[in-house]
Structure 1
Amino acid sequence: MDLRALRYFVETVRHNSFTLAAEHLCVTQSTVSKMLRQLEDELGQPLLLRDGRQLRLTDAGRVVFERGQQALGLMRELGRELDDLTTLARGELTVGLPPMVNLLFPPVVKAFREQHPEVSLNLRESGGQVIEQQVASGELETGVTVLPADPALGLATLGVGSHPVLVVGPREAAWTRASRLDLAELAGEPLVLPPDDFSLTRQVRDAFRAIRAEPLIVAQSGQWDFLVAMAAAGLGTTLIPAPLLARLQPDEALAVRALAEPAISWKVALIHAPGRYLSHAARAWLAVCEAVLAPSPDGLNSADNSNATETAP
């Protein structure tokens, strides 16, 4: 079986589109279609059915997709092992990094470059759920996510920071008058939050569900600074992890409060697939992350801004 044809098939299924798969693979759409036809001819049965604009897997296609991901992951793992044997001092590493977490990582990247200048580091930005899938499939050796990770994927996680989530909004908001800020005080308040596929928003929804309430989400954005800007404009209240709020230097007109009950934490973790080979570069990256982001005696991460508690009380 042609591994290139198998890869084209897997990418087509992942993107649910010949066009998007071709863009990802940097080839023409006709090339992808041709390789898939060759794969189907070789196997003697159809793998994909067109249903309008959607693609549906046949029973055979489902088996080939699942096994194909495993086979491609093993080939990448083999390549990494062989590379390590021949180029112990050099290499390249691609790390999955969610955009909502990247503000924490410049000190890590700086330390890694200083300690391992021979390694070419590529940071691939995707949502945490996508990164978890890519690490589980072997497409990535390691990545970063916000806990909880999908338990069905069986990933190994190494926590490198647990941060309080702060409530940020206009000073005239009703909740600013409460002596103790519980989540119930935010019921009925307009909220601006990250998209639903972000761990923080899932935690907020779960917390509201626990008190038998529904959050009033009026806008969503995947950019922390835009969430704070919307809060400053009076559009609503947002919830921001403390170290990120410190870096964003919020407007003095904003009220910032800690949430008393339930306390919501933003837990950042490194992930990799247990039992799978990790290259020297990947192991070095994990070690640097742990060293730079490890909690210091005062409870802050060593990479945290020293003014964090002043900016985000």
Structure 2
Amino acid sequence: MELRQLEYFVTVAETGNFTRTAEQLHVAQPGVSAQIRRLERELGQELLDRSGRVVRVTEVGMAVLPYARAALAAVDGVRLAVDELAGLVRGHVSIGMVTSHNVDLPGLLARFHEAHPAVEVTLAEANTDQLVEDLRAGSLDTAIISVGGGIPAGLAIQVVDDQPIVAAVSHDHELAVHQVISIDTLRGRLMISMPRGTGLRARLEEACATAGFTPRIAFEASSPEFLAQLAARGLGVAILPRAFVEARSEHLRPVTIGRPSIRGRLVFAWRADGPPSPAGRALVRHARQLLGDASSRGR
């Protein structure tokens, strides 16, 4: 019994036609017929009923069919295992990241390199919108992105950080006397924000849209540190993560935004159906375990 005989039999059972089977498998039609006849002689039973215009599977053939499919699937599994290993030996991974994040990416990559020293790594920096697009297109295996409460369509994520987004102002700013403000308090005020396409900007625009207005952006920059410096000079209200602002309490005051509150999540993301490369899939497994362990230690 040969694998090609099982493959021919399964394909004829699915197509109901020897000619279509030959075309699908790119072999000569007489060869298909001859190999299935040889299989039937070996088993001592007919597997196919050829009496009609459409070839039908006999009762014996129906009993054999699931085992034939299982045998072919097992062979595919063997090939996949070899391909996965070969892919890791000569593999390549592409990782995207937002400009500002608190993931120990060098540490994660060092651990991954230790396990898979031959895999090449490419890093790319962009805003969240671009990274999401690249993940969906398959040009990136994984990425660190900033998202809101939902998950971008077509992606799977592991949350790395989830914290409130606040209004950051200088100590002599008129809003500095408040503990909490509503989003409507920011209507018409000069604001300092990350550019469009970033997670922070998207969260701000979503909250403002809910309140019925468009934020008045006076300054924008891709560096949170630069935004903080502008706000500390009294040039407007910067929209930044609370922990980032609290770490700069000498120059900035964080004011909680309520009704609605704004939260930002930093996540490790990959395509929901898995990265396209074996090395990429290995990186996802590695990162999920490492980030999960870090999250457990943080609780």
Give the TM-score taking structure 2 as reference length. 0.62
| Partner residue, 2:256 | 258
Is it true that 1:219 corresponds to 2:228 in the alignment?
no
Stretch deviating more after TM superposition (266-275 or 231-240): 266-275
| Partner residue, 1:109 | 109
Query: SS state of the match for residue 123, structure 1?
Result: strand
Q: Kindly state the Cα deviation for residue 101 of structure 1 after the two structures are TM-superposed.
A: 3.1
Structure 1 residues 79-158: aligned runs within 5 Å: 84-89=84-89, 91-101=91-101, 105-148=105-148, 153-158=153-158
1:122-147 Cα distance to aligned partner (Å, 9 max, x none):
21112221222222122222223222
Cα distance change on mapping 1:93 and 1:243 into 2, 3 Å: farther
Structure 1 residues 236-255: aligned runs within 5 Å: 236-245=236-245, 249-250=247-248, 252-255=250-253
Cα distance change on mapping 1:206 and 1:87 into 2, 3 Å: closer
| Partner residue, 2:16 | none
| Partner residue, 1:49 | none
Counterpart residue type for residue 264 of structure 1:
I
1:17-60 Cα distance to aligned partner (Å, 9 max, x none):
xxxxxxxxxxxxxxxxxxxxxxxxxxxxxxxxxxxxxxxxxxxx
Q: Kindly state the Cα deviation for residue 276 of structure 1 after the two structures are TM-superposed.
A: 4.9
The whole-number CA distance in structure 1 between the counterparts of 2:243 and 2:277 is: 31
The whole-number CA distance in structure 2 between the counterparts of 1:289 and 1:263 is: 30
What residue ranges of structure 2 are gaps of 5+ in the alignment?
A: 1-79
Counterpart residue type for residue 255 of structure 1:
R
The whole-number CA distance in structure 1 between the counterparts of 2:222 and 2:89 is: 37
1:191-234 Cα distance to aligned partner (Å, 9 max, x none):
10001211221221121122223322101111111111111122
Cα distance change on mapping 1:152 and 1:228 into 2, 3 Å: closer
Cα distance change on mapping 1:252 and 1:114 into 2, 3 Å: farther
Cα distance change on mapping 1:251 and 1:280 into 2, 3 Å: same
What residue ranges of structure 1 are gaps of 5+ in the alignment?
A: 1-79, 300-313
Structure 1 residues 164-183: aligned runs within 5 Å: 164-183=164-183
Stretch deviating more after TM superposition (189-198 or 106-115): 106-115
| Partner residue, 2:282 | 284
Stretch deviating more after TM superposition (179-188 or 211-220): 179-188
- Give the structure with higher Rg (CA): 2
Counterpart residue type for residue 274 of structure 1:
A
Q: Kindly state the Cα deviation for residue 266 of structure 1 after the two structures are TM-superposed.
A: 1.2
Counterpart residue type for residue 167 of structure 1:
A
1:239-270 Cα distance to aligned partner (Å, 9 max, x none):
21245456xx4260211233333221111223
Q: Kindly state the Cα deviation for residue 95 of structure 1 after the two structures are TM-superposed.
A: 0.9
The whole-number CA distance in structure 1 between the counterparts of 2:204 and 2:216 is: 11
- Aligned match of 2:266 in 265, 268, 271? 268
Say how many residue pairs are matched: 218
The whole-number CA distance in structure 1 between the counterparts of 2:181 and 2:150 is: 30
Is it true that 1:194 corresponds to 2:176 in the alignment?
no
The answer to whether the 8 Å contact 2:245/2:254 transfers is no
Counterpart residue type for residue 265 of structure 1:
R
The answer to whether the 8 Å contact 2:193/2:219 transfers is yes
Query: SS state of the match for residue 239, structure 2?
Result: strand
| Partner residue, 2:51 | none
Is it true that 1:208 corresponds to 2:208 in the alignment?
yes
The answer to whether the 8 Å contact 1:175/1:186 transfers is no
Cα distance change on mapping 1:150 and 1:263 into 2, 3 Å: closer
- Aligned match of 2:291 in 287, 293, 302? 293
Give the TM-score taking structure 1 as reference length. 0.59
Stretch deviating more after TM superposition (188-197 or 173-182): 173-182
The answer to whether the 8 Å contact 1:103/1:244 transfers is no
Q: Kindly state the Cα deviation for residue 114 of structure 1 after the two structures are TM-superposed.
A: 4.2
Counterpart residue type for residue 171 of structure 2:
R
| Partner residue, 1:24 | none
Stretch deviating more after TM superposition (129-138 or 266-275): 266-275
The answer to whether the 8 Å contact 2:138/2:275 transfers is no
The whole-number CA distance in structure 1 between the counterparts of 2:152 and 2:166 is: 30
| Partner residue, 2:53 | none
The whole-number CA distance in structure 2 between the counterparts of 1:277 and 1:263 is: 34
The whole-number CA distance in structure 2 between the counterparts of 1:81 and 1:138 is: 22
The answer to whether the 8 Å contact 1:170/1:254 transfers is yes
The whole-number CA distance in structure 2 between the counterparts of 1:292 and 1:244 is: 24
